[in-house]
Amino acid sequence: MQSFNFNTTPGIRFGEDLSVKSAEEVCKKLGSKILFVTDPGLVKLGLIDNTIKALKVNSEVLIFDSVEADPSLRTLMLCLEEGKNFKASGVIGFGGGSSMDTAKLTALLLGSGENIHEAWGVANAKGPRLPLVLYPTTSGTGSEITPISIITQDDLEKKGVSSPLILPDLAIMDPLLTLGLPPHITAATGIDAMVHAIESYASKSLNNNLISKMLAKEALNLLGESITTAVTNGKDVTARSNMLLGSMLAGASFGNSPVAGVHALAYPIGGTFHVPHGLSNAIVLPYVLRFNIKDQSAAKLYSEIAPIIFPEIDMTTSTQDIASNFIENLSKLSSNLGLEQRLRDVGIPETACETMAKDAMKQTRLLINNPKEITEKDAYDIYKSAW
């Protein structure tokens, strides 16, 4: 068996209303001055109120609520400046992947004083960081348990920092925080979590390992059995709990066996056209997988996980047929959940396919993990098929 490294969040807390009940532990971890990073939508919904009230019993809290979808470098710098002026002793990221990713890098830069432009890439961050706690309010990114943060640059390219240094000290998993998610966001983030597990399982990374594969399978089991209920009955706490746990397990999986072509082709869709990340992944997913199964080894890997989500698939047929049926069922699931299926459905013009293909080629960190090599022409053909 090949050697591998496996890193994950050292402390995970799961339970209903834990966002309030864990406040004392969180304050002890973060100190007396907490920078609370979130987005304006959650503030408007009042979702942060009970958590803030509980935290303020023991600590002073400054709320930074300007995080947007696909957070920009400008937003990160603003958050960093507020944290410096506040003299923050610790950082909380409360929300979806955007808030958590912003909080991760803010904690890193506040703690180390390093230049963000020297930290981009894999294992370039120096640290140390400030104490960090993350509260996910969606079931999709798994950011609360991954050593990765993605920020949109001024030229709309997405760049990432990948380093165990930005794993949080604690992940607070409270399914009650996800009950208010609208059906469309629930569907998009849920498919996003599935993509994480699928790409991690089939990743060509040299660090693809037994633990990541095991976690990917269990993530798909939880997500597959619960996503439809979570979308159609958002108040079902059991379904919401399964989605939150499935997303977290998928995050632990791809945090060590990295994602690949689906994400590489999704990033230009989000960065240029501001399509939410989960939906971007959902749109290109079947087209990238259809390209990948031209490689027999990829088809075999997809066939291994196919019955976990779709037990009705006939497993007595050929590996290629099983993989093809898996992809078609994923496409049908996405459609049945009400997600847009084509690039044209989200307002992207056909003429953008060429530029997006060029931009996708910049995602070398991801493309290297794809089971089948993707050239610029391949990317263009995939985008055209998805249009």
In this prediction, residue 84 carries a pLDDT of 98
In this prediction, residue 163 carries a pLDDT of 96
Pair 113, 201 in one domain: no
**Phi/psi at 122 (5° precision):** -95, 125
**What is the token pair recorded at 129?**
């960081």
DSSP assignment of 273-293, as one string? Answer: H---HHHHHHHHHHHHHHHHT
CATH of the domain at 273: 1.20.1090.10
Residue type, 293: I
**Phi/psi at 96 (5° precision):** -85, -165
Last residue of a domain, one of 121, 155, 178: 178
> How does pLDDT run across 269-296, given as a tens digit for each residue?
998 999 999 999 999 999 999 999 999 9
Pair 43, 115 in one domain: yes
Distances in Å between the Cα of 81 and the Cα atoms of 35, 42, 71, 78, 86 are 11, 22, 16, 5, 9
In this prediction, residue 97 carries a pLDDT of 94
**What is the token pair recorded at 91?**
């950082």
| Domain-embedded: residue 365 | yes
Please say whether the beta carbons of 225 and 269 come within 8 A. no
CA–CA dist 73, 157 (Å, integer): 11
Last residue of a domain, one of 147, 178, 209: 178
Pair 130, 214 in one domain: no
In this prediction, residue 124 carries a pLDDT of 97
Please check the confidence at residue 2 and state whether its pLDDT lies above 90.
no
| Domain-embedded: residue 3 | no
Pair 225, 104 in one domain: no
Pair 218, 138 in one domain: no
CA–CA dist 105, 231 (Å, integer): 31
| Domain-embedded: residue 247 | yes
Pair 213, 173 in one domain: no
Number of domains present in the structure of the chain: 2
In three-state secondary structure terms, 71 is coil
Pair 317, 250 in one domain: yes
In this prediction, residue 43 carries a pLDDT of 97
Pair 106, 123 in one domain: yes
| Domain-embedded: residue 2 | no
Confidence of residue 24 (pLDDT cuts 50, 70, 90): very high
> How does pLDDT run across 303-334, given as a tens digit for each residue?
999 999 999 999 999 999 999 999 999 999 99
Please say whether the beta carbons of 14 and 245 come within 8 A. yes
Which residues on adjacent β-strands are paired with residue 144?
none
| Domain-embedded: residue 293 | yes
Nearest-10 crossing angle of helices 376-386, 352-360: 130
Please check the confidence at residue 155 and state whether its pLDDT lies above 90.
no
Quick one: 179 exposed, middle or buried, by C-beta within 10 A (0-12, 13-18, 19+)?
Answer: middle
In this prediction, residue 98 carries a pLDDT of 95
Pair 36, 57 in one domain: yes
Please check the confidence at residue 156 and state whether its pLDDT lies above 90.
no
In this prediction, residue 280 carries a pLDDT of 97
Please check the confidence at residue 47 and state whether its pLDDT lies above 80.
yes
| Domain-embedded: residue 302 | yes
Q: Which of 102, 100, 130 is nearest to 116 (CA)?
A: 102
Pair 243, 343 in one domain: yes
When the pLDDT of each residue in the chain is averaged and rounded to a whole number, the result is 97
Pair 209, 358 in one domain: yes
| Domain-embedded: residue 5 | no
Please check the confidence at residue 1 and state whether its pLDDT lies above 90.
no
In this prediction, residue 337 carries a pLDDT of 98
DSSP assignment of 97-151, as one string? Answer: HHHHHHHHHHHHHHHH---GGGTTEET--------EEEEE-SSS--GGG-SEEEE
In this prediction, residue 91 carries a pLDDT of 98
In percent, the amount of the chain with pLDDT more than 90 equals: 97
| Domain-embedded: residue 67 | yes
> How does pLDDT run across 213-249, given as a tens digit for each residue?
999 999 999 999 999 999 999 999 999 999 999 999 9
Q: Where are the alpha helices (DSSP H) in the chain?
A: 18-21, 23-30, 40-45, 49-55, 73-86, 97-112, 183-202, 210-232, 237-254, 261-273, 277-292, 296-309, 319-336, 352-360, 364-367, 376-386
Pair 162, 103 in one domain: yes
Please say whether the beta carbons of 255 and 145 come within 8 A. yes
The boundaries of the domain holding residue 312 are: 183-386
Please say whether the beta carbons of 305 and 298 come within 8 A. no
Last residue of a domain, one of 124, 157, 178: 178
